[in-house]
Chains A and B, each alone.
Chain A
Amino acid sequence: MSMQRIIPIMLLIFFIEGTIFYWLLPGNLVSRVVPHFTLAFVLFASLYRGRHTAVLLGLSFGLLQDIVYYGNIIGVHSFSMGLVGYMTGLLLERKRSTLLMALTMILLSTLVYETVVYFVYRVFRLTHQTYEWALMDHIIPSLFLQLGFVLVIYVPARRWFEGTAKKKGEEEEE
């Protein structure tokens, strides 16, 4: 599948995060189970497509989230998503990742992403919770959600991103 079709899907997922998914969550889980669905796509891109695609996707979708929910600050999610996408790509883009490998990598990267976001907010003094509390309150519950989401979309997402990578590779050979 080409990028022109993946981006609308990601946009759709992004809008669902703040609207339909929010309604699906029971009231006491809101802001404890945080969806990182667009981040999952960015990480799939970095695993199966390449770090440059991933960094571009991460920067743009992070920026979208920053602006759409502009409260205090712009740039936190953009920075962390781009950074995490790039780092994951740098580590693993050339290797053929299996399901287990991809799962572990995506969960680790999500953890890193949450940590980066937390520390940026901390540096700008917009949050005063301790890291341990943030970990227990929302980071770990969100990881479970991310695990479920990645398991559900693993097969189609891998096909979409690998398909484009292969095509691109062939084009380059020509």
Chain B
Amino acid sequence: MFNWMRNRRMFVLMIIVVLFVAVMGFSIGDRKKLTWPENFVLDASGVVQQWFYKPAGYIAGLFEDLTNLRGIYKENEELRKMAAAYARDKNKYNISEQQNKRLKEDLNFTERQKGLNDYRYLIAQVIAVSNDPYNQTIRINLGSKDGIQPNMVVVTRDGLVGHISRVTPFSSNVMPLTELDDKSPDSKQYAATVLGKESLSFGMVDNFDAETGKLSMSRIAENDPLTKNDVIITSGQGNVFPQGMIIGTVENVQVGDIGLTRTATIKPAADFDHLTEVFVVEVPSMEETAE
């Protein structure tokens, strides 16, 4: 009797282990659609998390504001200077935009090519953040009903945060840049370039070092003009991620693993802690291909 019980226990344990390995192996990697139990759990929990996250954020923000009160005059002054600079740049921008439009028409651009850089920014509220150090998923309150699709890019005012990894009807999960890992089986890579030297510079942002808190950009060509303090943006090559999202600034450049290419260490521009609002970038061409 006892022996039989023991055997049964071993049997059940082994079945459970095998089951879990199967589930883990199945769930890893890109999945276009989630099953309905996952959708249900994600959406239901999203509603509840929304009730908690927003008020907590407001209260924490209030305390932060009180401590920041002293620096506010100085900040205001700086912001005014910046606003004046922007006003100057706006004139310049308007002129070059019109010129750009005229040239595109002269060169017979198709409608699709013209609309390629008309990104729409959808504002989303963060509803929860995972505490797991191996999986720092950020949850937002926009889902497939709002037009969100996997692999859309999520940004803040400062820069790139990450990309959408899982989508349900009313919420989606964002995988932040801190999850980038060049050795992982299904990690994403961002094709990147330098702001102001877009046609000359190229590399792949593909790794985040948790120990130093820095990103790294690899596969930079030997003759690349990239130097310290350059601002790194997404290049939009590869047609997965949109163009011109700020990733960070270069801290140093060193020779890569093989010696043929170089690797740059990048300080991320966006602050990943205590986010409240983020923007999801909707690319028009992505919409077309989905339809």
Contacts and interface: CB of A to CB of B under 8 A. Distances in A.
Interface in B133-179: 133-137, 139, 165-166, 173, 175, 179
B137 A64 contact: no
Nearest to A17: B131
Interface stretch (B49-57, B90-98, B253-261): B49-57
Interface in A95-138: 117-118, 120-121, 124-129, 133-134, 137-138
A69 B130 contact: yes
A74 B135 contact: no
Interface stretch (B38-46, B99-107, B280-288): B38-46
B222 interface: no
Interface residues of A, number: 47
Interface of A, secondary structure class, is helix
Contact of B133 (A15, A70, A137): A137
B42 to A, nearest CB: 6
Contacts of B179: 71-72
A72 B52 contact: no
Interface stretch (B22-30, B69-77, B112-120, B238-246): B22-30
Contacts of B186: 72
Contact of A125 (B20, B133, B185, B271): B185
A23 interface: yes
B42 A34 contact: no
Nearest to A35: B131
Interface residues on B, range: 35 or more
A73 B273 contact: no
Contacts of A117: 132, 134
A68 B128 contact: yes
A151 interface: no
* Secondary structure of the B contact surface, majority rule: mixed
Interface stretch (A25-33, A41-49, A156-164, A165-173): A25-33
Contacts of B128: 15, 18-19, 22, 68-69
Contacts of A78: 20
Residue from the set A15, A34, A64, A73 with the largest chain B CB neighbour count within 10 Å: A73
Contacts of A69: 128, 130, 132, 135, 137, 139, 173
- Counting chain B CB atoms within 10 Å of each CB, which of A34, A72, A134 scores highest? A72
A67 interface: yes
Contacts of B130: 18, 69, 71
Given A15-B52, A23-B60, A120 B24 contact: yes
A34 B52 contact: no
A75 B20 contact: yes
Given A69-B173, A71-B137, A124-B24, 11 more contacts: A15-B52, A18-B128, A22-B131, A27-B273, A30-B273, A69-B137, A71-B175, A74-B27, A77-B132, A79-B20, A124-B28
19 contacts: A18-B130, A20-B53, A22-B53, A22-B128, A24-B60, A27-B271, A27-B273, A67-B42, A69-B130, A69-B173, A71-B130, A71-B136, A71-B179, A73-B27, A73-B135, A75-B27, A79-B20, A128-B181, A133-B211
